[in-house]
Amino acid sequence: MTPPATRKPLIEFRNVNHAFGTRPIVHNIDLTVGESEFVCLIGPSGCGKTTLLRMVGGLLTPSSGQVLFNGRPVDGPEKEISFMFQDYSKALLPWRTAAGNVSLALEATNVPAAQRGPRIKELLAKVGLANHADHYPAQLSGGMQQRVQIARCLAQEPSVLLMDEPFGALDAMTRQALQDEILRLIAVSKTTVLFVTHDLEEAIYLGDRVVALYPNPGRVAQVFDVKLPFPRDQLSTREHPEFLRLRRELFDFIREGEA
């Protein structure tokens, strides 16, 4: 379960177990994510995909086993690892404008005030919110709020982006727009992404690899390599024979798991 030999390993799960009380959540996870790789974790609820993400984010320490980042064990949130939450309405500071929310990440790394303004402007422009800098989250649509969160994550200049079902609560059109947005941004910055979703097509569309998990307790079931050409396109990629084949395979796999 290693990435192609051409990639340097960046994140490694080594025999990771986690239990909540006596209830095991994830069991014997071994997984390596390479540099600049886009890995999607999918599986039914109870498969521990969010748990794994939180471990990399330093928000959770595994009961046993190790999570390595750049060869060192993760023992707390890392500066280079950025976490993007699903519930945008709760993950933004409601009393700060879009610009203010992006600024928070810069303040956290002690960027001098004078340099923040231009950086924020540039970041908001990158996610298409140049004209909404002064809006409060309550005045923005769900998709826009999630764009603010993307900008906040990018402000950290992370080498790893952890995304926990970031588009799960958005409508289909917005979701597709944001998928392309992320791919475009990642293509430039070469950021490594670990992406949790329960949407098969989203996983295939975005990922270099898709890791499917079994539930109760969460285990790695199978890893699918996605050999689809970049840049991906909402129409042609989704009609690509390889896409359809993978979708079929994953669909069967999930249905088996449910039966």
Partner 1 sequence: MTPRAKVLWMIGSVCVTALIVVAWQMIANYSGIPAVFLPGPDRAWRALVTGFTTGDLTQLSMATVERMIYGWVLASLAGIVLGAIIGSSKIAREYVAPMLEMVRPVPVSAFMPVVIAIVGLSGGMVLIVIALGAIWPVLLATVHGVSSVEPRLMEVSRSLRLGRLQTLWKIALPNSQPDILAGMRIGLTVSLILAVIGEMLTSEAGLGYHVLVAARAFRSADLFAGVILLGLIGLVSNVALQEIERYMLRWKQR
Residues near partner 1 (CB under 8 A) are 57-59, 76-77, 79, 82-83, 85, 87, 90-91, 93-97, 104-105, 107-108, 136-139, 156
**Distance, CA of 56 to CA of 62 (rounded, Å):** 10
Using the minimum distance from each CB to partner 1, give the nearer residue, 139 or 236. 139
Closest CA to 150 of 202, 185, 190: 185
Using alpha carbons only, give the angle 215, 221, 224 rounded to the nearest 5 degrees.
130
* Rounded alpha-carbon distances, angstroms, from residue 246 to 1, 124, 129, 163, 253: 18, 35, 35, 22, 10
**Distance, CA of 47 to CA of 216 (rounded, Å):** 6
Using the minimum distance from each CB to partner 1, give the nearer residue, 162 or 206. 162
Contact 36, 4 (CB under 8 A): no
Using the minimum distance from each CB to partner 1, give the nearer residue, 59 or 254. 59
Using the minimum distance from each CB to partner 1, give the nearer residue, 95 or 230. 95
- Cβ neighbours of residue 118 under 8 Å, at least 6 residues apart? none
Using the minimum distance from each CB to partner 1, give the nearer residue, 138 or 244. 138
* Rounded alpha-carbon distances, angstroms, from residue 123 to 27, 40, 130, 194: 39, 25, 8, 21
SS3 184: helix
Residue 89: CB minimum distance to partner 1, A? 9
User: What is the number of other CB atoms lying within 10 angstroms of the CB of residue 162?
Assistant: 27
Residue 221: CB minimum distance to partner 1, A? 28
Residue 162: CB minimum distance to partner 1, A? 9
Name all contacts of 145-148 with Cβ < 8 Å and 24+ positions apart: 145/88, 145/89, 145/92, 146/88, 146/170, 146/178, 147/178, 147/181, 148/88, 148/92, 148/98, 148/101, 148/102, 148/124
Using the minimum distance from each CB to partner 1, give the nearer residue, 46 or 77. 77
Using the minimum distance from each CB to partner 1, give the nearer residue, 98 or 220. 98
Residue 156: CB minimum distance to partner 1, A? 7
